[in-house]
A and B are shown apart, each in its own frame.
Chain A
Amino acid sequence: MPIQIEHLTHTYMPGSPFSAVALRDISLTIEDGELIGLLGHTGSGKTTLVQHLNGLIKPTEGKVIVDGLDLTAKETSLLEVRRKVGLVFQYPEYQLFEETVAKDIAFGPKNLGLSDEEIDQRVRTAMEKVGLDYDEIADRSPFDLSGGQMRRVAIAGVLAMQPKVLVLDEPTAGLDPAGRRSILEMIRQLHAAGGLTVIMVSHSMDDISTLATRLIVMSKGELALTGTPREVFCQRELMASIGLGVPQAAELAYQLREAGFELPDDLYTCDEMYNAILKLAGKEAGVC
């Protein structure tokens, strides 16, 4: 179920003195099974864009079509769209409200009107997917958990809707390095299990460089660049002009090239960089 966005423009509070254009003429297609990294500076319109994907906000102009459903059409059922596209907000742990973890995760499926057995089954599956132990945690209050665990509960709450597209807005924000790594690993596994399109908003290049199959870069409400991580990260100047960096490995490669070392210009992961430097060191040693 591809997502098609056609000439999408969004203006906040149009016609008032406070009107502000958040998105300008965005067109793009997201295919099934992609893992998209959505990059951009603060205020570049990333969050506004992802909120269009399940109809939380409506385009001022243009169209958003998810799996053949036109979100701008009046007769489209928003519940149906929200079942298909799961959206995990920034700091999702702040939206937990139920007495127990299991009840909170069940909130989404309940709104879909499923049977109790089905809901229970979905809660168990969702908790397993995010790496939480059902027997240990299901009956505890979500407010007693650690920050990382709360975030997993919140993500499970969206996964329990069994969406075809999972959108995560800065899923690693505010976590410690260990929590960050484990959330990223969880996202990788969710995607690897198949059948799920993942769109991940981030401004950490290092988080996204190893995960994403394709990157979309936004700047000031417009689509600045799209392509594989390799294609995007070798455009260091363009990225810098948008106010974004490149992964640390790509930056190191750039600095070394500037200093006169012969390195290929499309390196961006740590492993590639490691190998390239070893090779270089071997060559230099040979010369000496």
Chain B
Amino acid sequence: MLRDITLGQYMPGNTVVHRLDPRTKILLTIVYIAMIFCVSSPVWYVIPLAYLFLCSKLSGITFGQLLKAIKPLRFLLIITFVLNLFFSSGSTVWLEWGILKITKEGLMTAIHFSMRLVFLVAGTSVLTLTTSPIALCDGIEVLLKPLSKIGFPSHELAMMMTIALRFIPTLIEEADKIMKAQMARGADFESGNLFKRAKAMVPLLVPLFVSAFRRAGELAMAMEARCYHGGEGRTRMRVLRFTQNDLYAALVSVAALVLTILCGALIK
């Protein structure tokens, strides 16, 4: 039952987008986010739309998969839309009931903000769909490296993320096993009210924590036995390298950003 949880949403592939350096993809995602916030009116979402279309074509990720990422956000979307629709100030009033009124400006703001959310989520999920969690961690580590000058533990942070990701499936398997073992002793995880169910989790959670700590201790020992001593002077097996493609991707993205800013500034 616990096995149904899928971890992340990485879609393995070997396209141009998949092969881009993770650092490029993280930075370009930031450029993309900036682009979304520079869009001045709903019409100009055609630029990020075209950008996403290009990403989708190049990475083999369909729009359906991108929209799937939005599904969990549907309530937030509806709330954003409704609040903006009814409570924005504007002069062109279309309908009015008491304090609720729908104005032309309100409708535009509602559409604008909802679109912003949709594009943000769909665009950033291109990053998580085409980059494996490990590559993401590597990228983050290198990007945060300059901060280590002021004492920020960039390597340690990335290592912790990598280890956490690696142990999620192990812990799921372990939880499944312990659950079965307690069920064999008559434990009931599936019925009763909320309080009862929370209490029923104790026989599952205590052994799970104990074993997680045991594993952590063993892993630390094993890493030290292989002379791990933090990030200092550590070389990597897969060295991240920028290629021509990274350059092209950066040019296209920055061009799209500039275009968005220009469109917003010049055409009112």
Contact = CB atoms under 8 A, between A and B. Distances in A.
B186 A79 contact: yes
Interface residues of B, number: 18
A119 interface: no
Contact of A97 (B3, B180, B183, B206): B206
Q: Is the interface of A mostly helix, strand, loop or mixed?
A: helix
Contacts of B188: 79, 111
B207 A56 contact: no
B181 interface: yes
Contacts of A208: none
Nearest to A90: B177
Given A92-B181, A94-B178, A111-B187, A143 B203 contact: no
Contact of B183 (A56, A86, A112): A56
A39 B210 CA distance: 31
Given A107-B185, A111-B187, A161-B186, A94 B180 contact: no
B186 A54 contact: no
B203 A107 contact: yes
A143 B211 CA distance: 11
A147 to B, nearest CB: 12
A94 B185 contact: no
A95 B186 CA distance: 14
B111 to A, nearest CB: 40
B186 A82 contact: yes
User: Which of B3, B177, B178, B186 has the most C-beta atoms of chain A within 10 angstroms of its own C-beta?
Assistant: B186
A82 B181 contact: no
B186 A94 contact: no
Interface in B119-137: none
B202 interface: yes
A213 interface: no
A108 interface: yes
Interface string A40-65: 00000000000100101000000000
A157 interface: yes
B7 interface: no
Given A107-B203, A111-B188, A82 B210 contact: no
Nearest to B206: A97
Nearest to B183: A56
A185 to B, nearest CB: 24
A56 B180 contact: yes
B211 A94 contact: yes
A94 B184 CA distance: 14
B177 A89 contact: yes
A157 B178 contact: no
Contact of B186 (A13, A96, A112, A143): A112
Interface residues of A, number: 24
A95 B187 contact: no
Interface string A80-111: 00110011010010111110000000011001
A127 interface: no
A96 B181 contact: no
B245 interface: no
B182 interface: yes
A158 interface: yes
Given A94-B211, A97-B203, A97-B207, A161 B185 contact: yes
Nearest to A113: B186
B184 A82 contact: yes
A89 B207 CA distance: 14
B183 A95 contact: no
Contacts of B177: 89
B212 to A, nearest CB: 11
A159 to B, nearest CB: 11
Contacts of B203: 95, 97, 107
Contacts of A79: 186, 188
Contacts of B182: 95, 107
User: Which of B3, B181, B182, B185 has the most C-beta atoms of chain A within 10 angstroms of its own C-beta?
Assistant: B185
Given A107-B203, A111-B188, A94 B210 contact: yes
Interface of B: 3, 177-178, 180-188, 202-203, 206-207, 210-211
Q: Considering the complex of A and B, which 7 residue pairs feature the smallest CB-CB distances, nearest first?
A: A111-B186, A97-B206, A108-B185, A87-B184, A95-B181, A89-B181, A97-B203
14 contacts: A13-B3, A54-B184, A56-B183, A56-B184, A82-B184, A83-B186, A86-B184, A89-B177, A89-B184, A94-B207, A97-B203, A98-B206, A107-B182, A108-B185
Given A86-B184, A107-B182, 20 more contacts: A13-B3, A51-B180, A54-B184, A56-B180, A56-B184, A82-B185, A89-B180, A89-B181, A94-B210, A95-B178, A95-B181, A95-B182, A95-B203, A97-B202, A97-B203, A107-B185, A108-B185, A111-B188, A112-B186, A161-B185
